[in-house]
Structure 1
Amino acid sequence: MESKLSRPSSHGPHGPVVTLLTDFGSRDAYVGCMKGVLLSRAPSLRSIVDLTHDVPAQDTRAATFHLRHAWAWFPTGTVHVAVVDPGVGTERAILVARHEGHFFLAPDNGLLAPILEPTDAVHALDVTHYPAPSATFHGRDLFAPAAARLVEGATLEELGPGLRPGQWIGATEPGPRIEADRIAGRVEHVDRFGNLILDVPGAALGVDTGDWVVEIQGVRVDFAPTYGSAGVGALLALVDSYDRVEIAERGGDASSRLDVGRGTPVTLLRAGATRRQP
């Protein structure tokens, strides 16, 4: 994500921050239990921030989307805990990683793949340090205690052995296909307003987005600089706050109007380009 806004650079004198991202929802006490463990074991913890607990159940791709667009807005030293874990209770590893001064804890299921670089330090949590974890609640019994250790100054080496690239699950989905006059992408996320956020970075369009048009499900959508610059009820495309191309309906719900969702293919064409047949 690129932005002209400056981001925080350090956690300051008050201790690290922990962020939590899960598919637990808010009806049950699961998130509260994780927070209780963190507060009990990390006295220097500055604060706990809920990124979201409304990730669809077991949807690791949705978890990745939210985490990759949120982590950089936190102070250096923040510990990001992501528990969307269909493999809980199995032999899957738990990754503990450091990227650009931030720490990440997540299951080894591809969730961190779009965030981590091959040069980042990635370790596998040594679960033998945590006696008798529940077979169904590793968020409370493994992730939260490990995050607390990081808050209190433990090193990655103290949490578990290092891994080499190829020893943890990498990216499993291709990104957009970017050419000079056309870009083939897909809908990556539908937000609560029904806006369609694509996997296409705004930077791929160059300076003038007006040179491009978006085609989705046979519908042509022109670019506009802001939501308000389009007429009420009009479809528009713009570059959003995540530096992603977005399709929206002014005052409405683009997802419902177009009857599309995540994974729908989208084509961006530069003015004058010829539409290719699939």
Structure 2
Amino acid sequence: MKTIKRGSHDGIITLTTDFGTRDPYVASMKGVILSIAPDTTIIDITHEIEPFNVLQAAFILYRAVRWFPAETIHVAVVDPGVGSERRALAIKTNQCVLIGPDNGVLIPAAKYFGIIDVREIKKKFLDEISHTFHGRDIFAPAAANLSIGMKFEELGPTASNLRELDFGIIEWIDEELRAKILHVDRFGNLITNIPRKLYTEIASKETIMISTTRKTSKIKPAHSYFEGKPKELLILPGSGEFIEISCNKGSAAELLAVKPGDTFILRFGSSF
């Protein structure tokens, strides 16, 4: 992979938001970035995070950032606390810079690479700063200025006591495993917080049932979607670090009536 040298004019800035694409918000951020750093490559990770869903945004960012070249700048704006006393942060890691609100959205990705330095963004880049659009007025110009060579330390003072966020714990008690849904992808696959390393043990169970607040169904261990009959629920090791609940040629999210952040129970046994 190409390494981007700080101060070059071909740097990469990524954007992750819950803004969607029907409004001018994303375009406004890109306009600010390109006005400051016209040769920057802007990559949209996604703008389809569920509104205000910080956990989902943190997960998407965590999964995506590792595939980018060194020194990429990642901006994440899922910010229900905009306009409050929450801080605007920039986190320098061993691989990249992460910029966004101090609500935990940056933390899993930052910890994945290892945190070197954290700054509260105090430097004012635009003449006017709104109370409701820090993505355009603070985060985008901070990223753009870093991409053209501004020193990281110039952003503001060192920040500590960051708001933490993790993907939750799983509880395995007797023949039940309680877990959480981190993300629902376009196909309705449920990405859970169950580590992939547990797949072999789970798949060895004679029978597996999944229970949500509205549905209970049997699921079949598999390694790929084609191994199930149409509309059959499957549990797979997935392509990342976490186990997935899927449905061959259907939506597991619709079948189980769940969304990101919901909890569920896997039950194991031979008496169902």
Query: TM-score, normalised to structure 1's length?
Result: 0.84
Q: Equivalent of 1:185, from 179, 190, 194?
A: 179
Other structure's SS at 1:115 match: helix
Q: Which of 141, 147, 151 is the aligned partner of 2:147?
A: 151
Matches of 1:214 and 1:102 in 2, distance apart? Answer: 40
Corresponding residue for residue 88 of structure 1: 82
Q: Would the alpha carbon gap of residues 107 and 90 (structure 1) be closer, same or farther in structure 2, given more than 3 Å must change?
A: same
**SS state of the match for residue 150, structure 1?**
helix
Task: Rate the CA distance shift 1:210–1:87 in 2: closer, same or farther, 3 A.
Answer: closer
User: The residue matched to 1:37 in structure 2 has which SS?
Assistant: helix
For 1:182-203, what per-residue CA distance to the aligned partner results, in whole angstroms no more than 9, with x for missing partners? 6431222222211111111212
CA displacement 1:126-174 (0-9 Å, x = unmatched): 144544211222111111110011101223211111123xx21012663
Tell me which residue corresponds to 2:119. Answer: 123
Q: For residue 4 of structure 1, what is the aligned residue in structure 2?
A: none
**Residue 252 (structure 2) pairs with residue 254 (structure 1):** yes
8 Å CA contact retained: 2:13, 2:74: yes
- Supply the distance in 2 between the matched residues of 1:173 and 1:73 (Cα, whole angstroms): 20
1:56 and 2:55 aligned: no
Gaps of 5+ in 1: 1-7
* Two-structure CA RMSD over aligned residues (Å): 2.7
Matched, 1:40 2:55: no
Aligned partners of 1:195 and 1:253 also within 8 Å: yes
Q: For this pair of structures, how many residues does the alignment match?
A: 262
Residue 4 of structure 2 is aligned to residue 11 of structure 1: yes
Q: How far does residue 96 in structure 1 lie from its aligned partner after superposition?
A: 0.1
CA distance in 2 between counterparts of 1:185 and 1:15 reads: 42
**Are residues 24 and 14 of structure 1, via their aligned partners in 2, closer, same or farther at CA, if it must alter by over 3 Å?**
same
Asked if 1:134 is matched to 2:130, the reply is yes
Q: Distance in 2 between matches of 1:9 and 1:155?
A: 21
**Structure 1 residue 258, shift from structure 2 partner:** 2.1
CA distance in 1, matches of 2:3, 2:172: 35
- Of stretches 82-91 and 260-269 in structure 1, the one that deviates more from structure 2 is 260-269
Q: CA, structure 1 residues 210+62, in 2 after alignment: closer, same or farther (shift >3 Å)?
A: closer
Structure 2 residue 257 is matched with structure 1 residue 264 = no
Counterpart-to-counterpart distance in 1, 2:192 and 2:73: 27
After superposition, the Cα gap between the structure-2 partners of 1:146 and 1:215, relative to the gap in structure 1 and judged at 3 Å, is same
Cα displacement (A) at 1:177: 3.5
CA contact (8 A) 2:125 2:137 kept: no
Query: Residue 116 of structure 1 aligns to a residue in which SS?
Result: helix
Picking from 65, 68, 79, the partner of 1:74 is 68
1:265 aligned partner, one-letter code: F
For residues 256 and 80 of structure 1, do their structure 2 counterparts lie closer, same or farther at Cα, with a shift above 3 Å needed?
Answer: same
From the superposition, tell whether residues 182 and 249 of structure 1 become closer, same or farther in structure 2 (CA, over 3 Å): same
User: How is 1:157-176 mapped onto 2 (pairs within 5 angstroms)?
Assistant: 157-164=153-160, 167-171=161-165, 174-176=168-170
Question: Matched residues in 1 for 2:73 and 2:97: separation?
Answer: 5
Q: Percent identity?
A: 36
CA spacing shift, 1:122–1:182, aligned 2, 3 Å? farther
Q: Are 1:187 and 1:266, in contact at CA under 8 Å, matched by a contact in 2?
A: no
On the 8 A contact 1:126/1:161 being kept in 2, the answer is yes
